[in-house]
Structure 1
Amino acid sequence: MKSGSLVRLEISRSLRNKKFLFFSVLYPVLLFLIVSGSQDASSRVGGTDLSVPAFMMVSMASFGALTAVLMGNSERIAKERESGWVRQLRLTSLPGRGYVLAKTASAAVISLPSIVLVLAAGAVVKGVRLDAWQWLALTGAIWAGSLCFAALGVAVGYLATGDTVRPISMILYFGLSLLGGLWMPATTFPRWLRDLAEWLPTHAYAALGRSIELGDAPHARDVLLLAAYCALFAGAAAWLYRKDTLKA
């Protein structure tokens, strides 16, 4: 089996999973509309120069991508390991890196509709106004940044068992979302918690989009921090995959 064939298979399986599609594609849009509520462009987030709708639009687009790539990847891989599907794939011509790359690529493809729908809701329903280049850059930055969490999902899928993967994924999912400032501005946190949040990958991830909304280039610190986490997660995924191969 070739990597391209596996990517198509993974995308097809994800599209048939209605519960996964709801939580990864529709849920972030609904959450964005609920959280932003009646706030409009005149409502500002304390400590920033962004309106509440613009601030939460980036947060929920990032949250939706995180849902698709972290939750989807980790649970599916853990269950495939237990069912013997991964072992069967090792008997084909597909190299190990092809399996990991296929999982990461398919998750990234599924995350794109969630990002686009949240941004569309921000523009159409909440009146967020940006230049054309900002919309394109915003979509690209959030989508590219999600690869970091796709690698984390692969690592968790090889670390956990079918019974433990969901609680581990949920702790990471909600912990990173809450502490990284995706659900509420980190400026509202106590000082010690703000200092912690600034070192989390989700904080750097959302900061990419917020810089673009302000018309600036993403800060080098956020880019480097996210890249470092991506390398760490990808390295962990590769090591855990090799370890799992040796046990098989």
Structure 2
Amino acid sequence: MNTITAATLNPIATTYPVSRSLPAYAFEAKYEFLRVLRTPAFAIPSLMFPPLFYLLFGVLLNRNSAAAAHYLFATYSVFGVMAPGLFGFGVGVAIERERGWLALKRVAPMPPGAYLLAKMIMAMLFALIIYVILAAMAYTLGGVRLQLAQWLLLGLITTFGVLPFCALGLLIGSRVNAAAAPAIVNFIYLPMAFLSGLWMPLSMLPEFIRNIAVLWPPHHLAQLALAASGREYMGGAFGHLVFLAAFTAICFAIARRWLARAA
């Protein structure tokens, strides 16, 4: 296997004119979104599972508690945006890498980074759609009442909050094969959501779970979501942002190195 340097990832893209780069990025993002939207195995679970989970636990089993309704709306918004990042990158990249699609992208006349940027935009659009669905359910069925600025801030947090999970998914997809990727992503997705206190407050969980919650990205994103919705939250917002930014940068850096070394 030959080591692929940054230049050989896309030799033509190094002299790609700026006037043509932006349309190329836009087309790549557009068709990536349409491709995923037309893939029921990804689109349906990503768009439907979070609202169904929230309907069951946040609405039907809530017992008309306003505090629980606001808490669960914030945390289930985080739970919802985890899926597009983990599955879109973790499973999608693993499949495309194994089928040789990444090798084709390397020699295609396209701007550098367009492939990953398109997937990130796709994940953010899906995250925004999921948030809008959950917000509509929370307002109409869950009795959640927030100020307009809080709705918008929470939507901003969840939309950009998908990026750490994109990085983690890319890390998985760059290393495992297509057959193992779905199982590994699911093994990480659901336990990490539970251990981060997304399904119930950490105060209701054993002490050892509360102690290790700070290790998981969903916990930090959930605290930002709770703060945005005016709920009680743990730690400081700056510390949560630093953790998420560092986690994203480290995962992307490792995944990029692994992808560059792929044959």
TM-score, L = length of structure 1: 0.89
Query: Amino acid of the residue matched to residue 48 of structure 2?
Result: L
Return closer, same or farther for 1:39/1:132 CA change in 2, 3 Å cut-off.
Answer: same
Of 48, 71, 81, 1:26 maps to 48
Q: How does 1:80-119 map to 2 (within 5 A)?
A: 80-119=96-135
- Shift, 1:216, TM fit: 8.6
Check whether the contact 2:81–2:161 (CA below 8 A) recurs between aligned residues. Answer: no
Q: How does 1:40-189 map to 2 (within 5 A)?
A: 43=65, 51-189=67-205
Check whether the contact 2:127–2:158 (CA below 8 A) recurs between aligned residues. Answer: no
Look up the SS of the partner of 2:177 in the other structure.
coil
Query: Amino acid of the residue matched to residue 62 of structure 2?
Result: Q
The residue aligned with 2:4 is none
The residue aligned with 1:237 is 255
Check whether the contact 2:174–2:259 (CA below 8 A) recurs between aligned residues. Answer: yes
Check whether the contact 2:71–2:231 (CA below 8 A) recurs between aligned residues. Answer: no
Check whether the contact 1:104–1:154 (CA below 8 A) recurs between aligned residues. Answer: no
Check whether the contact 2:47–2:130 (CA below 8 A) recurs between aligned residues. Answer: yes
Query: Amino acid of the residue matched to residue 5 of structure 1?
Result: F
Residues paired across the two proteins, number:
238
Q: Higher mean Cα deviation, 158-167 or 213-222?
A: 213-222
The residue aligned with 1:11 is 33
The residue aligned with 2:241 is 223
Higher RCO (CA < 8 A, seq sep 6+): 2
Check whether the contact 1:155–1:237 (CA below 8 A) recurs between aligned residues. Answer: yes
Check whether the contact 1:40–1:127 (CA below 8 A) recurs between aligned residues. Answer: no
TM-score, L = length of structure 2: 0.84
The residue aligned with 2:62 is 39
Look up the SS of the partner of 1:163 in the other structure.
coil
Unaligned runs of 5+ in 1: 45-50
Query: Amino acid of the residue matched to residue 54 of structure 2?
Result: F
Partner Cα distance (2:40, 2:182) in 1: 18
Q: Which has the larger radius of gyration?
A: 2
Superposed CA RMSD: 2.0
The residue aligned with 1:47 is none
Query: Amino acid of the residue matched to residue 98 of structure 1?
Result: A
Q: Deviations over 1:29-65 (max 9, x none)?
A: 1110100225366x26xxxxxx111111112211111
Unaligned runs of 5+ in 2: 1-20
- Shift, 1:146, TM fit: 1.0
Query: Amino acid of the residue matched to residue 244 of structure 2?
Result: L
Check whether the contact 2:70–2:231 (CA below 8 A) recurs between aligned residues. Answer: no
Return closer, same or farther for 1:40/1:220 CA change in 2, 3 Å cut-off.
Answer: farther
